[in-house]
Amino acid sequence: MKTILELRLDRDMSAPVVAEAIGTTPPSIYAWERLQRRPSDYFMKLLAEFFETPVEQIKVAPFRKGGHPFGRPRGNGKLVTAS
């Protein structure tokens, strides 16, 4: 199992190249690589096709029922975690 960063670096590609190929933005790629956010099922499928690897072999942020995997920032910048 490899992270998106590992898959990308194995192929000597930049995040903007991957982002353009699957129709997203470089900041999204960077967040997924750092396990800060989890790609949607739609983008997981596109990543798997792009990197020619099974979805199950791509390591991403854990999914937590009821919210963002690591909480989400409020307007005041404080972190709100899922209970």
pLDDT value of residue 79: 47
pTM score, whole prediction: 0.75
Contact 8, 32 (CB under 8 A): no
Query: 64: pLDDT confidence band, cut at 50, 70 and 90?
Result: low
Residues contacting residue 25 through CB under 8 Å, at least 6 positions apart = 19
In this structure, of 6-10, 15-19, 39-43, 69-73, the range with the lowest mean pLDDT score is: 69-73
Domain at 76, CATH number? 1.10.260.40
Q: Return the SS3 of 44.
A: helix
With 90 as the cut, is the pLDDT of residue 14 above it? Answer: yes
Question: Residue 38 carries which side chain, given as an amino acid letter?
Answer: R
Q: Please give the tally of structural domains in the chain.
A: 1
How do residues 17-53 score in pLDDT, each as one tens digit? 999 999 999 999 999 999 989 999 999 999 999 999 9
**Domain limits for position 9:** 2-80
Which pair of tokens denotes residue 74? 């409020």
